Amino acid sequence: AYMQEVEGFANGTLDYTQLKGDTGPLVYPAGFVYIFLSLYYATSRGADVRLAQYLFAGLYLLNLLLVFRIYCRTNKVPPYVFFFMCCASYRIHSIFVLRLFNDPVAMAILFLAINLFLDERWSWGCFFFSLAVSVKMNILLFAPGLFFLLLQQFGLLGSIPKLGICALLQVVLGLPFLLVNPVGYLTRSFDLGRQFQFKWTVNWRFLPEEVFQSRAFHSVLLLAHLVGLGLFALHRWHRSKESILTLLKDPAHRKPPSPPLTIVFVLFSSNFLGVCCSRSLHYQFYVWYFHTLPYLLWCTPTAKIAHMPKVLLLGVIELCWNTYPSTVCSSLSLHLCHGLVLLQLWYGTGLPPAPHTPLPGKKPLTKKVQ
C-alpha cells in the first residue's frame, strides 16, 4: 500500500489528494513520501520485499542502539529488563520486519532527536524531531513535553528559533505539494479529525461502536489529555517553587529547579499521556511507546521486591497487544495497566517533603533513652 501511495509521486503527481493506494488515500506528511520513495527505488519499485525486510532489520538494530544510549544516560532500568525489550515482543518484531510500517521509521528518528537533546544539541534535535513528525504525526504526542523543555532551557524568546527550525523543515518538505494544492496537502497529511475503524481498535473494544465513533467521546478524550498534560506540567515537570509562568523568562533570571527531572522523563511521560487518551490504538501503534515502558516503570524509586510486579505489568501489556482480534478483556486490561503506570508516575515523582526546621530558640524534640 505504501508503494502504491508513493508511486504516483514517482510518476509526477504533486496533488496530494491524488496520491492513494488500495487501502485508501495517503494520510502522512511529506517526509513519509521521500523516505518510502527511496525504498520504492531501492526495492525495484517495491518488488524486492526481502531486501526491504533486511533494511528494516537494520533499522530495528539502529533503533535499539539509540534506545540503549538513552537508557545508559538515565541509568534507571536494571540490565535484565533489556532482554524483554530485545527478545520478548513478537508484536514489535512483526511491526518492524514483517509489516514494514512507517511507525518504526518515525520512532527511530525521534530517538535520534532525544539523543541529541541529551547531548544539549537542541537545534539539531529540533531538526530531527520535525523530520520524525514529517513521517508520522504520532510524534506530536512528544511535542508538549518538548515545548516545556525548550521553555525551561531557553525561555520564550530563546525557544522561538528552535520552534522556527521545526516549522521551516515542515514547509520545505511539503513545498512541492503546497505549491500545487496547499489545502489538499494540509488536510490530508495533518488530518486531526480522521475517523478510525472500530474493527482495528486495541484499546476501546469494550465500548459500543456508536460510542467509539462519537464526536462527544473524542472531545472527552481530548479534554482528558489536556488536563493530564496540565497537571503533569504544573506538578511533576515543573520542579521549582516559582510559578510555572517563570518559564517564559530568560533562564538566567530564574531560580534553579530543585530537584531536576530528566529530559527523558518529560518527553516519555508526555507521549504516554497521549497514548492513554488516544481515540484508537491500532496494532502498529504499539511501537509508539513500547521502548519507553521500561523507563516509565523504573524511573521512580523501586524496592527490590517491587521489580516482579513491574515485569508482570510489561508481560500483561504485551499480551494485550498480541491478542488478535482485541477483546473486551484485553482492552480493559490494557487500560488498567496504563492506569497503574500513570499512578506510579504521579505518586513516585512528587517533590520530597521539605525537612522540618525547628523554630529559633527551641530545641528539637528527642526521645528520652530509658
Q: Specify the pLDDT at position 35.
A: 97
Q: Specify the pLDDT at position 360.
A: 58
Q: Specify the pLDDT at position 356.
A: 53
Distance of alpha carbon 170 from the chain centroid: 19
Number of domains comprising the chain: 1
Q: Specify the pLDDT at position 23.
A: 85
Phi, psi for 94 (deg, rounded to 5): -65, -45
Q: Specify the pLDDT at position 260.
A: 55
Phi, psi for 20 (deg, rounded to 5): -160, 165
Whether pTM > 0.95 for this model: the answer is no
Domain containing 174: what range?
Answer: 1-348
Q: Specify the pLDDT at position 337.
A: 97
Q: Could you tell me which of 31, 358, 368, 337 has the C-alpha nearest to residue 176?
A: 31
Q: Residue 95 and residue 112: Cα distance in Å, rounded? A: 19
Measured in residues, the chain has a length of: 370
Preceding omega of 259 cis (within 30 degrees of 0): yes
Q: Residue 352 and residue 354: Cα distance in Å, rounded? A: 6
- Domain assignment present for residue 368? The answer is no
Give 280's Cβ-side CA count (13 Å radius). 22
Q: Could you tell me which of 66, 62, 98, 68 has the C-alpha nearest to residue 81?
A: 68
- Domain assignment present for residue 88? The answer is yes
Q: Specify the pLDDT at position 106.
A: 98
- Domain assignment present for residue 277? The answer is yes
Q: What would the grid cell of residue 273 be?
A: 499521556
Q: Specify the pLDDT at position 367.
A: 46
- Domain assignment present for residue 107? The answer is yes
Q: Specify the pLDDT at position 259.
A: 56
Q: Specify the pLDDT at position 358.
A: 55
- Domain assignment present for residue 252? The answer is yes
Q: Specify the pLDDT at position 252.
A: 81
- Domain assignment present for residue 353? The answer is no
| Residue 189 burial (C-beta neighbours within 10 Å; 0-12, 13-18, 19+) | buried
Helical (H) or strand (E) element with 20: strand 20-21
* Three-class SS state of 25: strand
- Domain assignment present for residue 52? The answer is yes
Q: Residue 175 and residue 177: Cα distance in Å, rounded? A: 5
What tens-digit pLDDT sequence spans the chain (370 residues)? 999 999 999 999 999 999 998 888 999 999 999 999 999 999 999 999 999 999 999 999 999 999 999 999 998 999 999 988 998 888 999 999 999 999 999 999 999 999 999 999 999 999 999 999 999 999 999 999 999 999 999 999 999 999 999 999 999 999 999 999 999 999 999 887 778 899 999 999 999 999 999 999 999 999 999 999 999 999 999 887 888 888 888 888 777 654 556 899 999 999 999 999 999 999 999 999 999 999 999 998 777 667 889 999 999 999 999 999 999 999 999 999 999 999 999 998 876 555 555 555 555 554 444 3
The one-letter amino acid at 28 = Y
Q: Are 156 and 253 in contact (CB under 8 A)?
A: no
Q: Residue 203 and residue 197: Cα distance in Å, rounded? A: 12
- Domain assignment present for residue 116? The answer is yes
Q: Could you tell me which of 194, 176, 158 has the C-alpha nearest to residue 280?
A: 194
